[in-house]
Structure 1
Amino acid sequence: MRFLISTAFVMTMAPPALAQDRSAGEDAVVLEDVVVTADRMGSFGADLVQVGTFRNARVVDVPLTINVVPNELLRAQAASGLFDALRNTAGVSRAQLNGSAYDNVAIRGILVENRTSYRLNGVLPTVNLIDLPIENKDRVEVLKGVGALYYGYAPPSGIVNMVTKRPTRDLTEVTASVSEHGAAYAAADVSRRITDRFGLRVNGAAGLLETGVARVDGQRFMAAAAADWQISDAITARVDVEHVNKDITETAAIQLPSASGGRIVLPPIADPRANLGGKNLRYAASATDVLGRVDVRLSRQVALTVEAGQAVTMRDRDFSQLESADFRPGANYGNGTLRVFRTRDQKYRNRILRAEVAGAFATGPIIHNIIAGINSTWRFQNGRNGTALTVAQNYFDPRDVQVAAPTVFTTAPITVRDRGAYVTDRAVLGPVELMVGARYSDYRSRAVSTVGIASGFERDRWTPSIAAVVKPVRNISLYATYLEGLEEGGTAPIAAANSVQVLEPAVSRQYEAGVKAEALAGVTLQVAGFRIIRPFAFLDPSDNVFKLAGRSRYQGIEGSLTGEVTRHLSIYASGQYLDARVRNATPVALIGKRPENTPEWTGSLYAEYRVPALPGLAIGGGGYYVGDRAANALNQAFVDGYTTYSASLRYTAPVGGKPLTFQINADNLTDERYWSAAGNTLLGVGLPRQVKVTTRIAL
């Protein structure tokens, strides 16, 4: 009852577009429809965003840091996974794993929650435990920081939003690629206008996977469909369905050595082509996401949106980690133990239902843009966890190990219900905009540990948000924002003594101020300073228990420059300085330490030059830098920073009146050896160089 009463009062932040309609003979505020599929076609830049309540807002008008990775950049880089897109944005690093099976990603040093923070079309919480398909995506958006106002419980790392391609003109496009390691891939993109009011777009892809790592192979398949139906002039409907399946050898992670005298001596970086596990230690997963949306124009000033969807991910996993390796010279040099954790029939299911009303009206000279909505999310996960088994392995001369099947399995089901209601008002008076919003959240979770101990949490709380934007001219925004968010304390990793236990929810707070500008026609500049205070959780090496230890503070400066600098030069650049520290904690030895896997400096740059003298030829390249990171919460060791380089050459020419593109891309061009990930007492080794040849033709 309390929840239902609250829905009448609660609010969020940021509006659909609004406009003055003078056709009626007087100024009347109306909601303006914006078609984001027309946003800067063939560009490295973007004008509009589609994440959260900022949907259809201009990038320069959003009072938070947001990076949009458009389809043209993904094509230029021959991106094959979500991390290929995210690496272009500042503050992004891998965490815990090296990405051979899927990617754990941290933004601003904070882990992006795999079950809540990856969204399809700004709404459906997909499960990032498989390479989420990007073949059917028009763009990837990263909303940095607290997103709980719209999305409920989520860490303040940010929201990763994947926007699907919509049915547009008739199109048939076929893509094929091969890599130097023997990977092969083919994809098709078909769009048709069935009638004037109904369109359908279908994407499909299949490939053989080879990463350049010994005894690793696999396959991947995806299929997706997007349908748009204009039922009447006032009602439109959209449906998205996507399915992806992946089966690959998962290479082993490396456990941190034990500390001696308060310090940890890291092992030499393992050969990136070596497989410390076994070929038959597999990662087999599939995901099916379904999302429907109906928009109803109730009047010229009011619109209703209703959305519902489900995301289901299934996986069997043989996760392994090499531990207790001996790095002292002698007969046992490199000998260690490979510990294997087997999970079977693991299921993750997210469901969401959302209804939202947007309205625009004026009170005197002030234009108001109101959004009010309610949403409910249900999450469930469970699986059979096998008893860990061990086998001997050598760090420098690994063999194809065979590990017996476990005979004992345990389950650890988790259920979560997160309901919310929100409302926001963006009041516009000349060059000044004030946004005020609040959310009411009603959160309930229940978890059962692998040893049968039940735990649960119930929280209901209001969280406010406020932002002020000053626009001295249309293309420049100065802003300041304060937000509060709610997040789960974290989930214990599978190797912890309290495996998969969900920690207590907590409040995070964010302050941000910045400037955004369209520096040139087609170029967007963003610079912001931010400060985040959030709960701090870590895996305590003294008892191997994942626990809340206190609070940590993240503050820094971030900037980006994206778009077309000249007619022939496109650029996508970003950088971030981050000062992160634990502010209070138990044990006190953690105070003042840098949170694990948190780089002070990150940066990325990718540019493409279209040669005027040779129409159709484009030369591209760039670099990605991640600074040194603490290997554990006690800062007993730091992994070195690294820079990887990419290069590309693509040529497009008409063949039979249709464009044919031939391109070559190289990632990790210098074959750098580096620690790609740290955290939860694990280390990941970066993958070796990959050269890929791609052809694409529109039929």
Structure 2
Amino acid sequence: MPLPHTRLSAALLSGASLLATTAAYAAEDAPRQIEELVVTGEVGFGADTVQAGAFNNARVLDTPLTVNVISREVLDAQGAQGLYDALRNTGGVTRSQLAGGTYDNIAIRGILVENRGNYRLNGALPVINLVEQPLENKARVEVLKGASALYYGFVPPSGVINMTTKRAEAGAAPVAEVTFRADNHGSTIGSVDLGDRFLDDRLGVRANLAGGHLETGVDKVSGDRALAAFAIDIDPIDQLSIDLDFEYLEKDIAETAAIALLGAVNNAITLPGVPKNTTNLADDWQHYDAKAKNMLAAATYRITPQISVKLQAGRAETVRDRAFSQFGGYNLSTGEGTLTVFQTRGQKYVNRNLRAEVTGLFDTGPVEHEVVLGWTWNEREQNGRQSPTYTVSQNLFTPRDVPHRPLTTALTQNPSIIHDEGTYLVDRMTWGPLQVMGGVRWTDYESRSNLAAAQPTVYSASKATPAVAVVYKPVEWVSLYATYLQGLEEGGIAPANTVNAFEVLPPAESEQWEAGVKAEVGAGVVASLAWFEITRANAFTNAERRFVLDGEVEYRGVEAMAAGELTENLSLVGSLLWLDAAQKNAADVRLIGKRPENTAEWTASLFAEYEIAQVDGLAVNAGVFYTGDRAVNALNQAFIDGYATFDLGARYTREIAGKETSFQVNVENLADKDYWNTAGNGLIGVGAPRTVKFRITRAL
């Protein structure tokens, strides 16, 4: 593993020393102290703090970007099992390319959330989202939308999805409960959650174990999943805290076939009718088998109440075997077409991450400063291993069994490696009701692909990217803000079904403006309204099936969000996004003015739970989730229709034999609607059938 650049390491150490000295001198008259981050103790549908990015431990009202937090209470009320289950509560979230049976491939505001860089564990480790991310061990899920290069380096401006793990909180009661889940399709999952503090509260241990059988209601689709997760907190002395996290997760399930687009005739593509949501054009032997290990260690040392140093190190690894297929070339009348079967083995993805950071609080006259100086180093290594394919005949209306042909040729090696190193400086200044944030990141980036070839493809970039934000609070419960950010992102990696499969595209720049208002409505609801504009390079699969960068796309929109307890008995979480996205310039002039593929103009959601006062422990809930129509390709030659799904649920909690016991039922896609739920990369996919989920949780 290459060592980080010594010049940046030296710069960090020198800067940290200077900051610590300055802060220590100024802190003599400064009563303020760095607060420890405690988020797992939050209850209800709302949230007060942010963990992701440079705004770590800031209040939501003081964060000058759109932040959506899905609390544990919301996850439990909805019976959420995967990331999309959580994120559908936020504006602009759609599925992309995959229908969702294997893992959640997600786009936000029409921009793909990169699976190796934009998903974070505890605000730090970039986990690899190529296997379903578990929620049993998560306290909450949050989305920091927009450009996040200041803190996270080369990531798309879709946003960072951060998953916070459950922990054994100091001073809290021990946790010991067991949960059994099942659904009408035949899934059965058991899990256990254990947590306690030891050694005079200086050692905390939280363990989450889960496993069982999966059924989705789709023909020939079944599988298994398992989770073992541990969160350990060690406080050997008052000034030092050490957090350790380990996750092992696996999922092995049959993968449904995607439906490919037909060729355009007179610049228009005719889509087939939506198949029944239980239809599967693949077979039960075509499995997606993925395993992942995530490890993160973090240590924070408080030199003084005003100065702290944080060190983090993590490693994420995912390996997968995959047999998947795509159906194309079909006759719209008879349904006859061709199924292309892909078989890959031994794909491996590894992320390595280091971070060092010093935070200092000091005052200069009436201005309070919170200064963060940090350094990060990321290495992303992958071997995609593209395999040969074969084709068989298939029918869209009456699917046939798919013959299994063992691999007879060696897999093609496609290794690549990316290094992303950066130093960042952020100063959050407060002067009465006015807050100003200024930050800059210096980045060195290099990607090497086609490493098995005689002449590998090499891209590199060195650039400084600024971030500026202003927050004004006319009253304590209202914030007005404006933000300007520059970002850097990888150009993308070509999907497996393109002619340049697994090719790494050159890096690209993005720019974002945002302005908005946030308010605490009453005692328990946080609401926000924001306008944003993002400009970025456009990566897509063109008509020749080549994944390319061509021109710039501008995304402009308005987003609203509200979450919390409206009354003592009524809780809600709701979102609304209007998005105007269009290609601004391109070498292919046919693209100009077109909406980017898989980008909805409107998305909305509303979920509410009502506790019935007349029956102690009983609560009922309902939700509606809407996604507007989306273009199937960059030329807008067809659109999949918009859709709305409806959920209903109820949960009842009471004490049985001295132990709290909860019974719950949730119905998703209540009307059993057939609809296209995803587009992108020349593919479309069908949404899941109606699912009735049952859950029993009992304290031990």
Q: Tell me which residue corresponds to 1:592.
A: 593
CA contact (8 A) 1:101 1:283 kept: yes
Whether 1:389 aligns to 2:390 is yes
CA contact (8 A) 1:449 1:499 kept: no
Q: 2:277 aligns with which of 272, 275, 278?
A: 272
SS in 1 for 2:282: coil
Cα offsets for 1:79-137 (capped at 9, x unmatched): 11111001111100000110011111000000000000000000000000000111100
Counting only pairs closer than 5 Å after superposition, residues 36-115 of structure 1 correspond to structure 2 as 36-39=39-42, 41=43, 43-115=44-116
SS in 2 for 1:36: coil
Distance in 1, Cα, partners of 2:454 & 2:117: 25
Identity of aligned residues (%): 49
Q: One-letter code of the match for 1:75?
A: D
Change (3 A) 1:453 1:406: farther
Q: One-letter code of the match for 1:492?
A: A
Q: One-letter code of the match for 2:697?
A: R
Q: Tell me which residue corresponds to 1:29.
A: 32
User: 1:226 Cα shift?
Assistant: 0.5
Cα offsets for 1:522-558 (capped at 9, x unmatched): 10011000000000111111x2211111100000000
Q: Tell me which residue corresponds to 2:193.
A: 189
SS in 1 for 2:75: helix
Whether 1:300 aligns to 2:305 is yes
User: 1:339 Cα shift?
Assistant: 0.4
Distance in 1, Cα, partners of 2:163 & 2:464: 28
Q: One-letter code of the match for 1:422?
A: Y
Change (3 A) 1:667 1:389: same
Counting only pairs closer than 5 Å after superposition, residues 647-658 of structure 1 correspond to structure 2 as 647-658=648-659
User: 1:4 Cα shift?
Assistant: 4.5
SS in 2 for 1:231: strand
User: 1:37 Cα shift?
Assistant: 2.4
Counting only pairs closer than 5 Å after superposition, residues 155-234 of structure 1 correspond to structure 2 as 155-168=156-169, 169-196=173-200, 197-234=202-239
Deviates more, 1:413-422 or 1:447-456: 447-456
Counting only pairs closer than 5 Å after superposition, residues 303-382 of structure 1 correspond to structure 2 as 303-328=308-333, 333-382=334-383
Distance in 1, Cα, partners of 2:107 & 2:58: 26
Q: One-letter code of the match for 1:629?
A: R
Cα offsets for 1:123-182 (capped at 9, x unmatched): 000000000111100000000110111000000000000000011331111110111111
Distance in 2, Cα, partners of 1:437 & 1:680: 36
CA contact (8 A) 1:95 1:105 kept: yes
Q: One-letter code of the match for 2:528?
A: Q
Q: One-letter code of the match for 2:579?
A: L
Distance in 2, Cα, partners of 1:649 & 1:450: 55
CA contact (8 A) 1:202 1:224 kept: yes
User: 1:385 Cα shift?
Assistant: 2.1
How many residues are matched?
A: 682
User: 1:7 Cα shift?
Assistant: 4.0
Q: Tell me which residue corresponds to 2:19.
A: none
Whether 1:455 aligns to 2:457 is yes
Q: Tell me which residue corresponds to 1:636.
A: 637
User: 1:38 Cα shift?
Assistant: 2.3
Distance in 2, Cα, partners of 1:499 & 1:450: 14
Distance in 1, Cα, partners of 2:548 & 2:101: 28
CA contact (8 A) 2:30 2:363 kept: no
CA contact (8 A) 2:301 2:309 kept: yes
SS in 1 for 2:555: strand
Change (3 A) 1:77 1:359: same
Whether 1:433 aligns to 2:418 is no
SS in 2 for 1:303: strand
Q: One-letter code of the match for 2:490?
A: E
Q: One-letter code of the match for 1:88?
A: N
Change (3 A) 1:407 1:227: same
Q: Tell me which residue corresponds to 1:15.
A: none
Q: One-letter code of the match for 1:313?
A: T
Change (3 A) 1:77 1:145: same
Q: 1:254 aligns with which of 254, 259, 262?
A: 259
Distance in 2, Cα, partners of 1:288 & 1:278: 29
CA contact (8 A) 1:29 1:367 kept: no
Cα offsets for 1:7-55 (capped at 9, x unmatched): 47999xxxxxx9xx99x9x65333233422222x2x0000011111212
Distance in 1, Cα, partners of 2:454 & 2:402: 32
SS in 1 for 2:33: strand
SS in 1 for 2:385: strand
CA contact (8 A) 1:488 1:506 kept: yes
Q: Tell me which residue corresponds to 2:556.
A: 555
SS in 2 for 1:438: strand
CA contact (8 A) 2:9 2:375 kept: no
CA contact (8 A) 2:435 2:471 kept: yes
User: 1:615 Cα shift?
Assistant: 1.0
Distance in 2, Cα, partners of 1:534 & 1:693: 43
SS in 2 for 1:75: helix
Distance in 1, Cα, partners of 2:129 & 2:285: 23
Q: Tell me which residue corresponds to 1:539.
A: 541
**Could you state the TM-score of these two structures normalised by the residue count of structure 1?**
0.96
CA contact (8 A) 1:34 1:56 kept: yes
Unaligned runs of 5+ in 1: 12-17
Counting only pairs closer than 5 Å after superposition, residues 465-614 of structure 1 correspond to structure 2 as 465-541=467-543, 543-614=544-615
SS in 2 for 1:532: strand
Distance in 2, Cα, partners of 1:464 & 1:5: 22
CA contact (8 A) 2:30 2:362 kept: no
User: 1:6 Cα shift?
Assistant: 5.4
Distance in 2, Cα, partners of 1:33 & 1:345: 42
SS in 1 for 2:412: strand
Q: Tell me which residue corresponds to 2:152.
A: 151
Aligned-pair Cα RMSD in Å: 1.6
Distance in 1, Cα, partners of 2:56 & 2:542: 41
SS in 2 for 1:28: coil
Q: One-letter code of the match for 1:493?
A: P
CA contact (8 A) 1:582 1:594 kept: yes
CA contact (8 A) 1:322 1:338 kept: yes
Distance in 2, Cα, partners of 1:356 & 1:27: 21
Q: 2:446 aligns with which of 431, 439, 444?
A: 444
Distance in 1, Cα, partners of 2:7 & 2:264: 51
Q: One-letter code of the match for 2:93?
A: V
Q: One-letter code of the match for 1:307?
A: Q
SS in 2 for 1:267: coil
Q: One-letter code of the match for 2:164?
A: V
SS in 2 for 1:411: coil
Distance in 2, Cα, partners of 1:95 & 1:368: 41
Distance in 1, Cα, partners of 2:493 & 2:641: 27
User: 1:248 Cα shift?
Assistant: 0.4
Cα offsets for 1:545-594 (capped at 9, x unmatched): 11111100000000011000000000000010000000001210000000
Cα offsets for 1:299-329 (capped at 9, x unmatched): 121000000010000100112100101113x
Distance in 2, Cα, partners of 1:555 & 1:614: 47
SS in 2 for 1:356: strand
CA contact (8 A) 1:10 1:421 kept: no
CA contact (8 A) 2:621 2:648 kept: yes
**Could you state the TM-score of these two structures normalised by the residue count of structure 2?**
0.95
Q: One-letter code of the match for 2:98?
A: L
Whether 1:287 aligns to 2:292 is yes
Q: One-letter code of the match for 2:268?
A: R
